Structure 1
Amino acid sequence: MTRFALLPLAALATAALSAPALAGLPAPVRAMIDAAIETGDEAKVRTVLELARATNPDDAAEVDAILAAYETDLAAAAEAEAASEEERIRQAGLFGNWSGKGEFGAFRSTGNASNTGITAGLSLLRDGIRWRHKLSGRADYQETEGVVTREQYFAAYEPNWTISDRLYAYGLAQYERDRFQGFSARYAVSGGLGYDVLTGEDMTLSVKAGPAWRRTEFVAGGSRSDLAGLAALDFDWRLLDTVTVTQDASAFVQSGSSTFVSDSGLVAGIAGDLSLRLSYTVEHDTDPPAGAVRTDTLSRVTIIYDF
């Protein structure tokens, strides 16, 4: 009986001798670590722990144990936050979970019409678990002495379905009207695949491509429908916290008149949710209606409100 009772005690004694001491840090050092953790600043916590390890090498095991517990708590908090966000998205109604921006300013155009007028735009985005919905619209209008000299409208709806972290499928329905380019309405429908090439905090790049169908109704009468191919890219580069360079481009390639559009912009934060955007758009049609030129350019200066 005595022999078997001593074995566990011997094992416990050996374990106690071999286990690292977890109570050796001086009280001021431990208080400094606790204060850093209370701030919620991960970089500060790691810096304080590194200093504690460097200045108290004999208590490195205790510092490592504190770090391990801290990282476990961080992971649990991140997981809980992600689960809460997913549940919030799932519970959002049809009109919930939308964000967007409104834009208003002035433009200067050259090409089929050379004048200055007002421009307004609106874009909305709804992010879901697998679905993302984009709505956008823009109007450019100018009137001189009661005569309309610029009238261009654009509207688009694009649903995206996430296939993997970077790959997605897209759909697109688009409407345009520009009588000075020779068409009273131009419709486009497309679907295909997109890929997020860059997903960093400061630089993003997304590309997409797929087949398309376009119908053009001409001002002079008649209409035309064509099968086409669509390719597009969306690039954003944050140079500074308040300055971002944007580049959007698209190409509808088809028999007859193909359309190529490039929109380059510079966005600078002003205050809060307000920012200033300077942009330059070039639109080129390879075979425009009779009387219209091939290339239009549009320079815009707008104020943007994010909501």
Structure 2
Amino acid sequence: MTVFRASLALVCLMSPVATAAELPAPVRAMIDAAIEKGDPETVRAVIALARQTNPGDSEEVDAILAGFEADQARLAEEKKAAKEEEIRHAGLFDNWDGKGELGGFRATGNSSNTGLTGSLALTRTGIDWRHKLRGRADYQRTNGSTTREQYLFAYEPNYNISDKLFVYGLTQYERDRIQGFSARYAVSGGIGYQFIKQADLQLSAKIGPAYRVTEFVNGESEDRIAGLLGVDFDWNITDRLKLTHDTNAVAETGGSATVIVDAGNTSINLVTGLNAKVSDKLTARFAYAIDYDSNPPAGAVQTDTLSRMTLIYDF
């Protein structure tokens, strides 16, 4: 008996230490299926469930998750590098995004009427540069006479100095015969800063000198050195509802307020808009605009308001 016990003890000492059981096959298959789909949120939820139901295999589960996260980071870097390479080799007419807008308006001030409004906005975003083109037209004829004729075209390039600091340039053309001028040109350049840059909330401001030339309907013209202030604000309230208010001399993407100040006249354009997504490509929009000129031509009032209800198509 003594010899048997000694032999048994020797066998136990020489036997390998028992290892932890492998993750059960059905659990591993469930994790593999989630990883195959590639949705990080699904994978993390399945991993959490596996860790909870198999506490003895937490190290193996954590190792699987770490490997998945590493693969996701690598794929993200590869995708980013491929996108940057595509942008660097893009042609002049590549990588433009656009929005077309069509609807009706209601105006008060120098004219009181309803009519049609339309606009087109194009944006091209590069690695350091962003280019924005804007065009808008409001037009109406009543009893053979033009009662609303307002056009705006603008081009603004931005260059990112850092993640939040940028410089901008601006050229803009306006025409509003009802307000008293047949053409108004403005050029500006300056510096801007992105105060808030989140997925659902953005706030930026810019400031710089400007030069403006105004041609009045009576044939007179004037040119002045001016200053420009701009603030852009966008808030995605929900996935389908967006509030925008931009202090921007460029255009009204959603809401905009333009302030150009010179010695003889201060122009302010305030636009607040509410966008509601109808589908991935189609958005319904209501906007309210105030145009103010401190020194309008003789016979014109200082303030115009404009309410627009439009549909926007993304392309």
Return the TM-score normalized by structure 2. 0.88
Aligned match of 1:56: 54
**How far, CA to CA, are the matches of 2:143 and 2:309 in structure 1?**
23
Q: Secondary structure at the match of 2:222?
A: strand
Aligned match of 2:270: 262
Equivalent residue in structure 2 for 1:94, among 84, 92, 99:
92
Aligned match of 1:41: 39
Q: Which amino acid aligns with 1:26?
A: P
Aligned match of 1:169: 167
Aligned match of 2:249: none
Q: Secondary structure at the match of 1:48?
A: helix
1:195 aligns with 2:181: no
**How far, CA to CA, are the matches of 1:74 and 1:272 in structure 2?**
27
Q: Which one is further off, 152-161 or 211-220?
A: 211-220
Equivalent residue in structure 1 for 2:292, among 284, 288, 301:
284
Q: Secondary structure at the match of 1:138?
A: strand
Aligned match of 1:250: 258
**How far, CA to CA, are the matches of 2:73 and 2:283 in structure 1?**
35
Q: How far did residue 54 of structure 1 move? A: 2.3
Q: How far did residue 23 of structure 1 move? A: 6.6
Q: How far did residue 281 of structure 1 move? A: 0.3
Are the aligned partners of 1:130 and 1:161 in contact in 2 as well (CA < 8 Å)? yes
Aligned match of 2:147: 149
Q: Which amino acid aligns with 1:289?
A: P
**How far, CA to CA, are the matches of 2:21 and 2:211 in structure 1?**
72
Aligned match of 2:306: 298
Q: How far did residue 51 of structure 1 move? A: 2.0
**How far, CA to CA, are the matches of 1:46 and 1:303 in structure 2?**
39
Describe the superposition over 1:179-225 as per-residue Cα deviations: whole angstroms up to 9, x where unpaired.
11111111100001112222212111221111111111111222111
Q: How far did residue 271 of structure 1 move? A: 2.9
Equivalent residue in structure 2 for 1:75, among 73, 76, 82:
73
**How far, CA to CA, are the matches of 1:211 and 1:22 in structure 2?**
72
Say what the alpha-carbon RMSD is for the aligned residues: 1.7
Are the aligned partners of 2:265 and 2:295 in contact in 1 as well (CA < 8 Å)? yes
Q: Secondary structure at the match of 1:181?
A: coil
Q: How far did residue 292 of structure 1 move? A: 0.9
Aligned match of 2:132: 134
**How far, CA to CA, are the matches of 1:33 and 1:304 in structure 2?**
42
Q: How far did residue 68 of structure 1 move? A: 1.3
In structure 2, stretches of 5+ residues that fail to align are 1-15, 246-255
Q: Secondary structure at the match of 1:36?
A: helix
Are the aligned partners of 1:183 and 1:219 in contact in 2 as well (CA < 8 Å)? yes
Q: Which one is further off, 264-273 or 274-283?
A: 264-273
Alignment of 1:102-121 (within 5 A): 102-121=100-119
Aligned match of 2:13: none
Describe the superposition over 1:68-106 as per-residue Cα deviations: whole angstroms up to 9, x where unpaired.
111110110000110111111122111110001011111
Q: Which amino acid aligns with 2:31?
A: I
Q: Percent identity?
A: 59
Q: Which amino acid aligns with 2:210?
A: A
Q: Which runs of 4+ in 1 moved over 4 A?
A: 20-23
Are the aligned partners of 1:23 and 1:62 in contact in 2 as well (CA < 8 Å)? no
Are the aligned partners of 1:267 and 1:277 in contact in 2 as well (CA < 8 Å)? yes
**How far, CA to CA, are the matches of 1:60 and 1:263 in structure 2?**
56
Q: Which one is further off, 138-147 or 264-273?
A: 264-273
**How far, CA to CA, are the matches of 1:37 and 1:23 in structure 2?**
22
Describe the superposition over 1:277-306 as per-residue Cα deviations: whole angstroms up to 9, x where unpaired.
111100111111111100000111111111
Q: Which one is further off, 207-216 or 46-55?
A: 46-55
Aligned match of 1:4: none
**How far, CA to CA, are the matches of 1:137 and 1:84 in structure 2?**
32
Aligned match of 1:204: 202
